Amino acid sequence: MPNLVAYLHVRLNLNIAEDAEIYQSLTKLPEGERSRMVRIALLAYFKGSFVSGERRTKRTKTRQAEIEPAERPRPIPSISPQPTPVASNQESQTTTKNSSEAALSEMLDLIQ
Amino acid sequence: MSHKIGMDLGKGHIKYQTATGTGEIPAWLSRGRITQVMGKGNGTGGIRYQDQEYIIGRDAILGNGFSWSATETKDDLRNLLFALYVLGSAGIDEVDMVIGLPVSAAGSPAAVERIKSLLNGTHECVIGEKPTSIIIRVGVLAEPLGTYFSLCLDVEGKPITSSPYFNELIGIVDIGYRTLDIIAIEGGKLSSAGKDSTLSGIAVLFSRVCKALEENHGMLRPHEIEKVHTWLTGGCQELIKIGGLPVRPDIPAEVARFKAEFAGQIMDEVQSLLSGIRPDRIVMTGGGAALLRNELIKINPDLTFHPNPRFANAIGFYRAAVARGRQNA
């Protein structure tokens, strides 16, 4: 278990003392299942799914919801770009150009 | 005129795109100098920087102090050496460069500032035998954004408004060598949720396979590890030899099992991190996506794979550099 302890400390900055119960229950699982559950449970923990007193009661339900979403993922279309839509008039062309330039400007702002 | 380059400073390979095309070198480094005894060499070689000789790329196994690891923040000298070597070899003396950091590091202003101060400026070096002065101006992006730009910008850096990726809410999963990076983005806006890095890069798979081989062959040397990596990425077509001995015939089946298990681990993480976002599509990219494509599709047939996953980030970084150049012109 030293690797798990290191993982919890370094990767998730998790306070082992506070979460000794979670840690102890994880150590009882078979190795493959344990590492899988550690990832799922701790990722959810890290993302803030478990909060203070609600953590223990909601843990199982939250984890299950993350493993099995209520709906199937929506179908994903092909990677090929769709044909360029034909603008009906000059105004729509201008609007499209302006909005795309604005979006581009926002995208480039992401460069630090 | 200033050149543009997109450079993906990966842990396994340095990949880049310029106006003339893409290229890559192994991210290996050692100290020393290569002596070409016969033939013309293989295009990798040396760089002299601050009175120190370094060997870059495949030839680095012939030098002293071989190393191939880098920090997640990529702000160590080796990445400057790789960048200078790539630029000098391409005859570029002034460049606007865009690079990437893992999502977690890109969110840290201090980490961004460190790598910018490493790379920005005028650098004097000798590539091969040629003294060179190279001016670098660098911009930094979260790595999966490179993939996004590769899909939403054309080669001239103009937005492809007809691209389905332009307006949809998409999750981008970049399976790199050391890290797995995830972002969600819609209409040029980066979501603050569903954005994270984990340590599930393909190095996990590589090290597991190497460990299995070391049971029979002892500790693998760097060039043997590279041999194993090449064998894995090539689909384990023929059995390789380690130290002159063939690997166990059941190793390919073991590798197939490792790959299936690792793909399951990755999809667990992706599902967990993107469950609050529910993107219209999930785009898989990075060298790990290419390596695990079949296994990932078995788990989720609706995944979309980037057409050039290994170079997706470098291509996008380049297009972003071109777009920014147009904007500032």
Q: Are B268 and A39 in contact (CB under 8 A)?
A: yes
* Interface touch B162/A77, C-beta < 8 Å: no
Instruction: Specify which of A13-17, A103-107, B36-40, B60-64 reaches the highest per-range mean pLDDT.
Output: B60-64
Residues B68 and B211 in one domain: no
The residue written with tokens 């923990």 in the block is A45
| Total domains present in chain B | 2
Same domain as B323, residue B299:
no
Question: Tell me, what's the pLDDT at A78?
Answer: 39
H/E run at residue B222: helix B222-233
Percent of chain B clearing pLDDT 70 (strictly above): 96
Q: pLDDT tens for residues B127-163?
A: 878 899 999 999 999 888 999 999 989 999 888 878 8
Token digits of residue B322: 């071109």
**Integer Rg of chain A from CA:** 23
Question: What mean pLDDT do residues B232-240 have?
Answer: 84
Whether the predicted pLDDT of B237 surpasses 90: no
Residues B91 and B135 grouped into a single domain: yes
- Tokens 């604005």 belong to which residue? A102
Residue B42: inside a domain: yes
Give the separation between CA B116 and CA A108, rounded to whole angstroms: 17
Tell me if B188 and A107 make a contact (CB, 8 A cut-off).
yes
pLDDT at B66: 80
* Separation of alpha carbons B45 and B180, rounded Å: 31
CATH code of the domain containing B119: 3.30.420.40
Q: What does the alpha-carbon distance between residue B146 and residue B320 come to, in Å, rounded to a whole number?
A: 8
Q: What is the mean pLDDT of chain B?
A: 88
Higher pLDDT, B163 or B295: B295
Q: Are residues B323 and B259 in the same domain?
A: no
Of the ranges A6-10, B168-172, B261-265, B313-317, which one carries the lowest mean pLDDT score? A6-10
Phi, psi of B189 (to 5 degrees): -110, 125
Is residue B231 one of the residues assigned to a domain? yes
Closest Cβ opposite residue A76 in set B160, B166, B303: B303
Q: What CA–CA distance (Å, rounded) separates B126 from B141?
A: 29
Phi, psi of B113 (to 5 degrees): -65, -35
Contacts of B39 (CB under 8 A, 6+ apart): none
- The CA distance from A107 to B316, in Å, is 12
Identity of the amino acid at B303 = L
Q: In chain B, which residue's Cα lies nearest the Cα of A35? A: B265
pLDDT value of residue A95 = 56
Q: Are residues B72 and B15 in the same domain?
A: yes
What mean pLDDT is predicted for residues B73-88?
92
Q: For A101, name the nearest residue in chain B, comparing CA atoms only.
A: B159
Residue-wise pLDDT for B20-49, tens only, equals: 999 998 888 888 887 766 666 555 578 999
What is the residue range of B94's domain?
3-161+308-328
Residues of A in contact with B278 (CB under 8 A): 69, 73-74
Q: Where are the alpha helices (DSSP H) in B282-311?
A: 287-291, 293-299
Claim to verify: residue B219 and residue B274 sit in the same structural domain: yes
Do residue B72 and residue B118 come from a single domain?
Answer: yes
Instruction: Name the residue facing B302 among A73, A104, A106 (closest C-beta).
Output: A73
Residues of A within 8 A of B283 (CB-CB) are: 79
pLDDT in tens, A29-80: 666 666 666 666 565 555 543 433 334 344 444 444 443 343 344 443 334 4
Q: Does A84 touch chain B (CB under 8 A)?
A: yes
Question: With bands split at pLDDT 50, 70 and 90, how would you rate the model's confidence at B225?
Answer: confident
Best of A8, A71, A84, A111 to substitute, by most chain B Cβ atoms within 10 angstroms, is: A111
List beta partners, residue B71.
none
Mean pLDDT of A90-110: 67
- Residue B81 sits in the same domain as residue B110: yes
- Asked whether residue B236 is assigned to any structural domain, the reply reads yes
